[in-house]
Amino acid sequence: MSLPHLPVLRKGVPYESLDKIEVKDHRTGEVLATVSQVNAGIIRRDISRIGDARAALKKFTCEQLIEISKKAGELFLTAELPFGDKGHTQTPQQYIETLSRTSGLPHVMVKMNMAKVNDALANMRTVLNGLTRGLDLSVIDIGFGEQAGCPVSYYPTTNCLGLVMPSNSPAVNSLWLPAIALKTPVIIKPGREEPWTPYRLIQAFIAAGAPKEAFGFYPTDHEGSGEVMKLSGRALIFGDANTVAQYKDNPKFECHGPGFSKIIVGDDEIERWPELIDLMALSISANGGRSCINASAIVVPKYGDEIADALAKKLGAFDPLPPTDENAKLSGFANAKMAEFIDSAIEAGLKEPGAEDVTAKYRNGPRKAELDGGVYLRPTIVRCDSFNHTLANKEYLCPYASVVQVPQSEILSKIGPSLVVTAITKDPKFIEEILDSDLIERLNIGMIPTGKISWNQPHEGNMFEFLYKRRSIEVA
């Protein structure tokens, strides 16, 4: 049978370009599919005529779209869905295998990500309730109504949501899912190694009854990505600290950069540190350490050496395993150069005095490892003697964390912006100080892994407030 081909989707209509790229197995180099690529001009044209895509979604009520989202979640998780435009289909198992082969994620992690995506869709009502703080969604359908006895009116800020997706973790797609229920078409530039998840989600939505016009899928080059960001009235930005810095003050963009998520421990709880090791290790290593909600620093007032050693002992034993192994904890790198870059960056940091790779003595080999042609990075725990060290507040696409010892009174002044902070303390004064901090996006108080997210609260930005603005209204 022919190789699958993923076309561009222009308002849901397949378009086969003469320019195609091959997406390959990261270990063997076998071509798994071709993906059409379009130039920026096509994207400009389609976005300039996006109004009818929005009109197609407006024919549905939010309630109907919530139901469609729920059904789409089921289909994403369980159904055999169209896979490209050459007559291929894709079962959930085939999706898992293909994604694993191109991204390096082991099957067990792909399944976990699938479940997360499905949860986001299945819980769309809860998600929107959280985002809108309980707004009666007929207000969106009609344009105005009442909330808590007050007249309210919301208008859309954009005709489409632009997305230049990363390839690191499929669950990142759950960020855009509320846009459909909020009647906003999406213009998606998929990650080069991970076109599968957005394509499958789009097919699931369409099979569930969503209008195909609502979906733009545009594999493109750098210029095309720039146009997606520039011409969409609202866009999500994913990238490193430098990329995000360029956009963070522009209300048109919602930035998703490094999380620099952390676990901090108060003086009152530090004596029971051995009981915290499992939670810390899970926060560092879940999902292969690839998420912005993975902890990348452990900040403690005492026992820094002991904690670093215990974490290193626990995580250092992780070895690369075949992707089908249910115990696989490490993700392969689709781009081996990325692994080399990270490895050398850590090594360069370690050359500066004041840091030790505590994991080194517990590993069964070097940090960069190979298995069956795949490249992996074993976990790294670095004990830093201060927050000023280069490696103290870094985030890498692998299980990596620093352990830094700081007096409790200085913790909040040292940690810097943090997407998720798990604070292990019961000290009311310390909790009050933490609650007052403007550096923390999502706060867990108590024994909660940093990777745990709740559907009724946005952990990064608020998609409803991003896509809609309130106006005052009087109706005679």
Partner 1 sequence: MTASEKLDAHLLETIQWHFSPETGCPFWLEWMSKNFDPKTEIKTFADMKKFPHFQDEWLRDLQPEVWVPAAYKGRPFNIFETGGTTGMPKQRIGWEDYKTDYSEFSTKISDEHFPKGGAWLMMGPTGPRRLRLAIEHLANVRGSSCYFIDLDPRFVKKLITNKQFDVAKQYMEHVADQAAVILKNRKVSGLFTTPKLLEALSEKLDIHAAGIRGVFCGGTTMLPQYVRFIVEEVLENKIGFYPTYGNTLMGLAASVPLTPEDNYSITYYAPQPRAVLRVVNPEKTEDTVDYDTWGRVELTTLTKEFFMPRFLERDEALRRHPRAPYEWDGVAEVRPFGAMENKIVEGVY
Asked whether the beta carbons of 368 and 343 are under 8 A apart, the reply is yes
Of 12-20, 290-298, 369-377, 394-402, which segment contacts partner 1 by CB under 8 A?
12-20
Collapsed DSSP state (helix, strand, coil) of residue 323: coil
252 near partner 1 (CB under 8 A): no
Collapsed DSSP state (helix, strand, coil) of residue 424: strand
DSSP string, 135-170: --THHHHHSEEEETTEEEEEEES-S-EEEE--SS-G
The only residue of 3, 30, 31, 48 in contact with partner 1, by rule CB under 8 A: 48
Which residues in the 70-99 window bind partner 1 by CB under 8 A? none
Of 42-50, 112-120, 210-218, 388-396, which segment contacts partner 1 by CB under 8 A?
42-50
Distance in Å, CB of 319 to partner 1, minimum: 38
Sequence-distant (≥ 6) Cβ neighbours of residue 101 within 8 angstroms: 25, 26, 27, 30, 32, 323
6 near partner 1 (CB under 8 A): no
Q: Which is nearer to partner 1, 16 or 385 (CB)?
A: 16
Which amino acid would we find at residue 44? R
225 near partner 1 (CB under 8 A): no
Sequence-distant (≥ 6) Cβ neighbours of residue 116 within 8 angstroms: 171, 174
The H or E element spanning position 422 is: strand 418-424
Q: How far apart are CA 286 and CA 453, in angstroms?
A: 13
Distance in Å, CB of 37 to partner 1, minimum: 8
Distance in Å, CB of 48 to partner 1, minimum: 7
Q: How far apart are CA 14 and CA 152, in angstroms?
A: 39
Site string for partner 1, 439-468 (x = CB under 8 A): ------------------------------
Which amino acid would we find at residue 375? V
**Between the CA of residue 314 and those of 120, 310, 311, 400, what are the distances in Å?**
31, 6, 5, 13
Of 39-47, 92-100, 169-177, 467-475, which segment contacts partner 1 by CB under 8 A?
39-47
Distance in Å, CB of 222 to partner 1, minimum: 10
The only residue of 38, 62, 139, 330 in contact with partner 1, by rule CB under 8 A: 38
Q: How far apart are CA 66 and CA 71, in angstroms?
A: 9
Q: Which is nearer to partner 1, 42 or 295 (CB)?
A: 42
**Between the CA of residue 433 and those of 115, 196, 344, 425, what are the distances in Å?**
35, 43, 38, 12
In the beta sheet, which residues pair with residue 98?
A: none
Distance in Å, CB of 241 to partner 1, minimum: 20
Asked whether the beta carbons of 90 and 83 are under 8 A apart, the reply is yes
242 near partner 1 (CB under 8 A): no
DSSP string, 74-102: HHHHH--EE-SSSS-EE-HHHHHHHHHHH
377 near partner 1 (CB under 8 A): no
Asked whether the beta carbons of 330 and 377 are under 8 A apart, the reply is yes
146 near partner 1 (CB under 8 A): no
Distance in Å, CB of 243 to partner 1, minimum: 15
Q: Which is nearer to partner 1, 221 or 267 (CB)?
A: 221
388 near partner 1 (CB under 8 A): no
Q: Which is nearer to partner 1, 38 or 208 (CB)?
A: 38
41 near partner 1 (CB under 8 A): yes
Asked whether the beta carbons of 303 and 311 are under 8 A apart, the reply is no
Q: Which is nearer to partner 1, 15 or 144 (CB)?
A: 15
Q: Among the residues of 326-407, which ranges form H helices?
A: 336-350
Q: Which is nearer to partner 1, 41 or 365 (CB)?
A: 41
Distance in Å, CB of 226 to partner 1, minimum: 9
250 near partner 1 (CB under 8 A): no
**Residue 459 buriedness (CB in 10 A; 0-12 / 13-18 / 19+):** middle
19 near partner 1 (CB under 8 A): yes
Q: Which is nearer to partner 1, 39 or 454 (CB)?
A: 39
51 near partner 1 (CB under 8 A): no
Distance in Å, CB of 121 to partner 1, minimum: 34
The only residue of 24, 32, 39, 126 in contact with partner 1, by rule CB under 8 A: 39
Neighbours of 125 (CB within 10 A): 18
The only residue of 3, 13, 45, 241 in contact with partner 1, by rule CB under 8 A: 45
Q: Which is nearer to partner 1, 48 or 327 (CB)?
A: 48
243 near partner 1 (CB under 8 A): no
8 near partner 1 (CB under 8 A): no
Q: How far apart are CA 297 and CA 283, in angstroms?
A: 10
Counting residues that bind partner 1 (by CB under 8 A) gives 11
150 near partner 1 (CB under 8 A): no
Nearest to residue 244, comparing CAs of 329, 26, 235? 235
Q: Which is nearer to partner 1, 39 or 126 (CB)?
A: 39
- Footprint on this chain of partner 1 (rule: CB under 8 A): 17-19, 37-39, 41-42, 44-45, 48
